[in-house]
Amino acid sequence: MTRTDRIAAALKDNTHAAMLTSPVSRQYATSFRSSAGVVFVTKEKSYFLIDARYYEHAVREAKGVDVILLTDSRRQLYSIIEDHGIKTISIESKSVTVNELNDYRKLFGTLEIDESDWLSNTLEKMRLIKSEEEVQKIEAAQRIAEAAFQKLLGQLRVGMTEKQVASVLDFFMMDLGADGISFDTIAASGINSACPHSVPTDKPLQKHEFLTLDFGAVVDGYHSDMTRTVVIDEADDHMKEIYNAVWSANADAMKAVRADVTGKLVDSVARSTLDAWGYDEYFTHGLGHGVGLEVHEAPTVSSKSPYTLHEGMVITIEPGVYIPGKYGVRIEDMVLVTADGFRLLTNAQKTLIKI
């Protein structure tokens, strides 16, 4: 079944339709990336209304849909609605703005608009399990990120600013073939590394400091995500201890990953390890999250996670220790959940790298 077939199968009856308008959902449904367009799914057929900028490419590349050149959305949508006897249209409640909702109410008049979370939840559930093709794209993005990281290591120097480090890393990812970067790259050194999501500043790199790098590349819409913490010159004994504590938490949590365990359990393993080292109180965020068409997507892996892991999920394992006023360490890998364990998607070394 195509993805639109699966959405159609979930519709309640022949009078029910689903309208996908967010870029991520459009790409997921059709395997085609665009900044605009509407995917309209009925029980009998699915349609992709798209403007002239993308039309020719969409005809060749979009899957599971009849591609229609968008000229008059109101007239064209009403034609589809009438042809299929549609009475109820589900929208993506978790991504639609208030203005868009008001526009839909005006557009569809007396038709029922399903404003519930049904469609958003249905799409989220479908996206939880990655196909082999999706995993390959995530891995391709990860290989680019890793190659960029290796190139960056040869460029790092005392006196470079965090902003310069982030910019160089971004350049290397793009130069190596990334379609984009997964998110604003984090380069946090010294005291700034004690903040999990520090924004790069004009602070220069100095000797005997940690430098935490959190970054990722995008390939065909699919993201990668990794974090490595390196030391400038030498680390003292306390810095080494913290690094080893986080590394141990990362390794132990991975050992707990397999289908049918909960996100809460995997998170608790990392916390137990850090507690044994005496640093549990300094781990201030969830252990991980899903990665795919969005760099942060379901499932969550945290103390509050409602998810059970299943074969085919791609998640991060990213424990951290953040000592206020001093420094922090985070080590993040991506793994593919398998029936009896995991497949590691991140190849970059985890021994403490000295610059």
Q: What was the pLDDT predicted at 66?
A: 98
In a domain, 186, yes or no: yes
pLDDT band at 205 (very low <50, low <70, confident <90, very high): very high
Q: Indicate if 319 and 248 belong to the same structural domain.
A: yes
64 and 22, same domain (yes or no): yes
Query: Average pLDDT of 251-278?
Result: 98
Unique residue bearing structure tokens 């999250």 = 289
Asked whether residue 183 falls in the same domain as residue 317, the answer is: yes
pLDDT for the residue numbered 313: 98
Residues 116 and 138 both lie in one domain: no
| Residues 183 and 34 grouped into a single domain | no
* Residue 138 and residue 280 in one domain: yes
Mean pLDDT for the stretch of residues 253-258: 98
Q: pLDDT tens across 131-186, in order?
A: 999 999 999 999 999 999 999 999 999 999 999 999 999 999 999 999 999 999 99
Alpha carbons 155 and 178: distance in angstroms, whole number:
20
Looking at residue 14, its pLDDT comes to: 97
> What's the CA gap between 298 and 218, in Å, rounded?
18
Q: How confident is the model over 203-225, as a mean pLDDT? A: 98
Answer yes or no: is 352 within a domain.
Answer: no
For residues 200-222, give the mean pLDDT.
Answer: 98
Q: In sequence order, what are the residues at sequence separation of 6 or more whose Cβ sits closer than 8 angstroms to the Cβ of residue 152? A: 165, 168, 169, 172, 213
pLDDT of residue 258: 98
User: Model confidence over 46-95: pLDDT tens digits?
Assistant: 999 999 999 999 999 999 999 999 999 999 999 999 999 999 999 999 99
132: Cβ contacts below 8 Å, ≥ 6 apart: none
Q: Which CATH number characterizes residue 145's domain? A: 3.90.230.10
Which residue range is the domain that position 94 belongs to?
A: 3-127
| Same domain flag for 115 and 143 | no
pLDDT at 5: 98
Q: Are residues 152 and 233 in the same domain?
A: yes
Q: What is the mean pLDDT of residues 270-296?
A: 98
pLDDT at 247: 98
> pTM for this structure?
0.95
The string over 47-64, giving b where at least 16 C-beta atoms fall within 10 Å of a residue's C-beta and e elsewhere, is bbbbeeebbeebeeebeb
| Residues 23 and 158 placed together within one structural domain of the fold | no
pLDDT at 291: 98
SS3 at position 247: helix
Cα–Cα dist 352/243, whole Å = 7
The per-residue pLDDT for 82 is 97
Nearest to 29 by CA among 57, 21, 182: 21
What's the average model confidence in pLDDT over 105-123? 95
Number of folded domains in the chain?
A: 2
Say what percent of the chain tops pLDDT 90.
99
What confidence score (pLDDT) does residue 24 get?
Answer: 97
